[in-house]
Amino acid sequence: MSYPTTIKGIQAGLKAGDFTAVELLEGIYERIAAVDGDVKAFLALNKEEALVEAKAADERGYGDDAPKLNGVPVGVKDNILTKGLTTTASSKMLENFVPTYDATVVRKLREAGAIIVGKLNMDEFAMGASSETSYFQTTHNPWDLNRVPGGSSSGSGAAVGSRQVPATLGSDTGGSIRNPAAFNGVVGMKPTYGAVSRLGAIAMASSLDQIGPLTITVEDNALLLEVLAGHDPMDSTSFTDDDLDTNYSAKLGQSLAGLKIAYPVEYKSDVIDPEIRAAIDQAAQYFEAQGAIVEEVSLPNTEHGVNAYYVIMAAESSVNLQRFDGIRYGYRSPNAKDLDDIYVMSRSEGFGDEVKRRIMLGTYSLSSESYDLYYKKAAQVRTLIREDFEKVLADYDLIMGPTTTTVAFEIGERSEDPIEMYMADLLTVPANLAGNPAMSVPAGLNSEGMPIGMQLIGRSLDEATLYQVADNFEKGHDFVDQAPNL
């Protein structure tokens, strides 16, 4: 039989007794066996444990007292620790690494009754926008197998886009949830920095990283974030529960009348593909027709975002990746003869080119001669970008624009040119630098049949308004019914 593809649909079916969690899970593994040979989203499946968990979910039942995601299958990006299940960050460095604990988000999923289906491919250590830096495999875009799925949460986007699983976890440092959400025609949320615990996320740039959900529908996304968000005493940057209102579904269904939406002139620039601009212009007209007020504003420091981001991200990454020394865990070169060999040879053989490039850039920008020139300067520009958002969001409820400048590009098209690849992040990095919540929601297909993503950026901790607007937009269109032909 065919099963519902959304969380809400699955929950209704489980509750009505149309199928069990075990049957659903078996159906999901059949779907993965049928399409993932082409898509290559999963690095590893968790069949044995997942079946045990599905049986347990069925035994708990689907009454009103059942946990919030009981029996719901979820895929997890492979930089998020899963106890006993190999977690590689798509790097040779961690090819055989088996975590001894669950990331807080994974623990919360399990406590909510969700079932971990498997681990998803990504760019190595989340460095890339295409999965091409993965040590293991390149994931293919389900809408056109010759194109990239975006990244770095490549498998997380492609697995939902190809309707293999209803939901996945990704991580977003400069757009790594929103970019693959846009390229695969799904919904992806980067929550406010500090809304979701980072404990157990393999760190890339600690002041920018956030974990978030990718789903087919907006309401599913809000539901999942309600499970993921919350204070964690093990992550000192996580907001306390006094600061957080995790009722992210609270505004779903409310009218958009009177909402003030800012559409920055910088998000309409010539670097953005004309078909994408047209789709976002149409979305603006749709919002006006719903009674919202859409006005042009300026975020004047947008153009400096990518540069500031790459300086800060590389600096923080170079420090975070110092822990990979070949001693306590991870790859150790079999040729190492002494201690310095262990460090140098293990790192040189264990890291891929893009990772090395960023370690080199970060080490350089933190060196005494260039610290003020690059790192401090970038941190000051970060302040200006944050202030741009604060000024606009003092007058407007949210900001709208495109998620990406182009639709998914061809595999191999940008992999030889790092700077061209960095430009994929142009529209997404500002929200990471500022810490604000930002999501990508499907905004139709272009003339080649490739998905276009609309980005909504909100006030700090105001994910609920983004979900309200995105849900209204989704229900006013038929984009959810569009799925790749696989």
Partner 1 sequence: MISRDKVQHIAHLAKLHLTDADLDHMEKEINDTIEMFEALQAVDTEGVEPTYYGNRKRNVMREDKPIDSGKKEALLANAPDAQDGYIRVPVILEKEDA
Chain positions 97 to 136 lying near partner 1, rule: CB under 8 A, are 97-98, 100-101
Q: Which of residues 206-225 bind partner 1 (CB under 8 A)?
A: 206-208
Residue 386's contacts (CB-CB under 8 Å, 6 or more residues apart) are 433, 434, 435
Q: Does the footprint of partner 1 cover residue 86 (CB under 8 A)?
A: no
In angstroms, the CA 331 to CA 87 distance is 13
224-283 positions binding partner 1, by CB under 8 A: 233, 236-237, 239
Residue showing tokens 């060196």: 367
- 441 strand-pairing partners: 454
Minimum CB separation from partner 1 for residue 24, in Å? Answer: 31
Structure tokens at 238: 């996580």
CB of 70 to partner 1, least distance (A): 29
- Residue 59 found at the interface with partner 1 (CB under 8 A): no
Q: How far is CA 227 from the centre of its chain?
A: 16
Amino acid identity, residue 417? D
Contact partners, residue 135, CB within 8 Å, separation at least 6: 88, 90, 91, 92, 95, 124, 352
- Asked if residue 380 binds partner 1 (CB under 8 A), the reply is yes
Which tokens is 157 given? 């986007």
Interacting positions 418-477 with partner 1 (CB under 8 A): 418-419, 422, 433, 435, 460
Stretch that binds partner 1, among 110-118, 174-182, 362-370, 466-474 (CB under 8 A): 362-370
Residue 130: active-site member: no
Query: Least separation, in Å, of the C-beta of 260 and partner 1?
Result: 24
Distance CA 125, CA 352 (A): 10
Alpha helices, H only, 112-264: 154-161, 178-184, 218-228
Using rule CB under 8 A, residue 52 touches partner 1: no
Site for partner 1 in 290-309 (CB under 8 A): 301, 304, 307-308
Find the part of the chain contacting partner 1 (CB under 8 A) among 130-138, 178-186, 204-212, 405-413: 204-212
- The nearer residue to partner 1, 100 or 447, going by C-beta atoms, is 100
Of 91, 152, 154, 162, which one is the catalytic site residue? 152
With binding defined as CB under 8 A, does residue 285 bind partner 1? no
Q: Among 77, 108, 190, 251, which one carries the catalytic annotation?
A: 77
CB 437 within 8 A of CB 192: yes
Q: Say if CB 225 and CB 247 are below 8 A apart.
A: no
Q: How far is the CB of 459 from partner 1 (least distance, A)?
A: 13
Whole-number minimum distance, CB 102 to partner 1, in Å? Answer: 13
Rounded to whole angstroms, how far apart are CA atoms 309 and 375?
A: 10
Exactly one of 49, 144, 325, 413 binds partner 1 (CB under 8 A); that residue is 325
* The amino acid at 85: L
The answer to whether the peptide bond before residue 152 is cis (omega within 30 degrees of 0) is: yes
Phi, psi torsion values for 389, nearest 5 degrees: -65, -45
Tokens at 437, concatenated: 């919540």
What SS3 string covers 377-446? Answer: HHHHHHHHHHHHHHHHHHHCCEEEEECCCCCCCECCCCCCCHHHHHHHHCCCHHHHHHCCCEEEEEEEEC
Stretch of 115-123, 139-147, 174-182, 373-381 contacting partner 1, by CB under 8 A: 373-381
- What is the size of the binding site for partner 1 (CB under 8 A)? 71
Stretch that binds partner 1, among 135-143, 148-156, 333-341, 438-446 (CB under 8 A): 333-341
User: Is 200 a binder of partner 1 (CB under 8 A)?
Assistant: no
Query: Candidates 95-103, 113-121, 137-145, 146-154 — which segment interacts with partner 1 by CB under 8 A?
Result: 95-103
Instruction: For the CB of residue 341, give the shortest distance to partner 1 in the complex, in Å.
Output: 7
Per-residue binding letters, 397-426, with partner 1 (x by CB under 8 A): ---------------------xx--x----
Q: Is 152 annotated in the active site?
A: yes
Distance CA 127, CA 154 (A): 11
- 3-class state of residue 376 by DSSP: helix
Applying CB under 8 A, does 371 fall inside the site for partner 1? Answer: no
Residue 286 interacting with partner 1 (CB under 8 A): no
The residues annotated as belonging to the active site are 77, 152, 176
